[in-house]
Amino acid sequence: MRREGRTETAFSLLVSLSLLFCLNRFVAPAAQARRAPTTLEQELAFYPSGRMLKPLASGFHNALADILWLRAIQYYGEHRKTDLVFDKAAHVFRVLTDLDPHFVEAYRFGALVVVEDARDPKAGYALLRKGILENPDRWELPFDLAFHHFLRGEHGWAASYFRRAARLNPGNERVARFAAFAEKRRGGLDASEEMWEEILQTTENERFREAAEFALLGIQAARDTTALAEAAREFRDRTGRFPRAPEALVGAGLLARVPPEPFGERYVIHPITGEVRSLFLLAREVRRDLHVLKIVADAFREARGRAPANLEELVVAGMLEAIPSPWGVEYFLDGVSGAVEARSAAAGFVLRGPQLDVEGRGRA
């Protein structure tokens, strides 16, 4: 995807590529001394700051920013398809926007990745505030910052930035309405859905559209799991146990039908807690957890010269805040091989490769 309003000559691109080559000549030895051969992620991580690059680019910083933009998109695409870990994203987009402070698309997409995918709201907020300072006439940046604050229940900040966006774009009635939502602390799925719909209908960025479509499917799944969980509790009150599958709720007359899972998977009910999850979203969360735990375990091995005996040792060492346990799934570390696996004996779940499979789907 090319940036709107941007044209580069072959000469400027050649100069920028040459600059990147020269920079890699400096940073590669340090990387090689500590790591295996450079991957895309390691290459991005070792870029110096954009403020350092900008004077070196000798007037070609916009063309260089375009190249880094393509590399950033490649980084995002790789991790979206594999481990869902985006720990270098904040650094990448800081460098990119240092080089071109008026690249609004980089602030917006970068913040979306950092807040929603990397789960680092503080860094995402900082990126958008930087964009607002550099581009005070663009309403989209305070709107995005308000949006992220709103989704996290930070209504005071959300209202402030929505009002700022409304002043910059007075003809947009939805922005003014969102400001009212935030001022009245009206959160919930309906308001979130309306905001994502606004992004879906107004953006021309393919990646924003994908994020909005994904979020809207997630909102539908949240509605469905809430209804299923309520029915599952009523089932338990009648029978003394939770149903093994959502279909049992139909058989008991508690639901007219099982809603279709919006991602094409199915809903599952935990037999002990009654928690209802989309199997697609659960598998996605577990897959990310496994990669993060493996990264932390490898860092422990590099720092201590040995593998951790178990995941609890990573918590004691201060390298992990807590061991995650989504839907009762347990993670185990092999102290010899360093492999991390996930399983849930209660529900019959095992992890095979990158997908979460279900053994014995169970009956009502």
Three-state secondary structure of 185-210:
CCCHHHHHHHHHHHHHHHCCCHHHHH
**99 versus 230: which is more confidently predicted?**
230
pLDDT score, position 28:
38
Q: How confident is the model at residue 64 (pLDDT cuts 50, 70, 90)?
A: confident
Highest mean pLDDT among 146-155, 194-203, 336-345: 146-155
Q: Which two tokens stand for residue 201?
A: 């209908």
Q: pLDDT band at 79, cuts 50/70/90?
A: confident
User: Residue 1: what pLDDT?
Assistant: 44
pLDDT digits (tens, 9 = 90+) for 24-41: 443 333 333 333 334 555
Is residue 4 pLDDT above 80, yes or no?
no
The pLDDT, as a whole number, for residue 13 is: 36
What does the pLDDT average to over 299-315? Answer: 92
Average pLDDT for the chain: 80
Position 61 confidence tier, pLDDT thresholds 50, 70, 90:
low
pLDDT bucket at 260, cuts 50 / 70 / 90 = very high
For the cut 50, the answer to whether the pLDDT of residue 363 exceeds it is: no
Kind of pairing between the strands at 340-344 and 330-333: antiparallel
Name the band, by pLDDT with cuts 50, 70 and 90, for residue 310: very high
6 has pLDDT over 80: no
- Of 271, 277, 282, nearest to 244 by C-alpha is 271
Q: What is the pTM of this model?
A: 0.71
Q: Where are the domains of the chain?
A: 10-136, 224-274, 281-358
| Residue 333, pLDDT above cutoff 50 | yes
Distance, C-alpha 239 to centroid of its chain: 39
Which pLDDT score is estimated for 48?
53
181-201: burial string, b at 16+ Cβ within 10 Å, e else: bbeeeebeeebbbebbebbbe
Q: Is 351 helix (H, G, I), strand (E, B) or coil?
A: strand
pLDDT of residue 267: 95
Q: Which amino acid is at 225?
A: T
In single-letter form, the type of residue at position 330 comes to E
For residue 49 the two structure tokens come to 């700051």
Q: What is the DSSP letter of 308?
A: -
Q: For a pLDDT cut of 70, what percent of the chain falls above it?
A: 77
Res. 50: pLDDT tops 80 = no
- For residue 329, pLDDT over 70 is answered with yes
- Per-residue confidence (pLDDT) for residue 251, from 0 to 100: 95
Q: Is the pLDDT of residue 126 over 90?
A: yes
Q: Comparing 10-14, 56-60, 138-142, 144-148, which segment has the lowest mean pLDDT? A: 10-14
**pLDDT of amino acid 12:** 41
Which range is least confidently modeled, 35-49, 75-89, 91-105, 283-297?
35-49
Ranges 51-55, 221-225, 241-245: which has the least confidence: 51-55
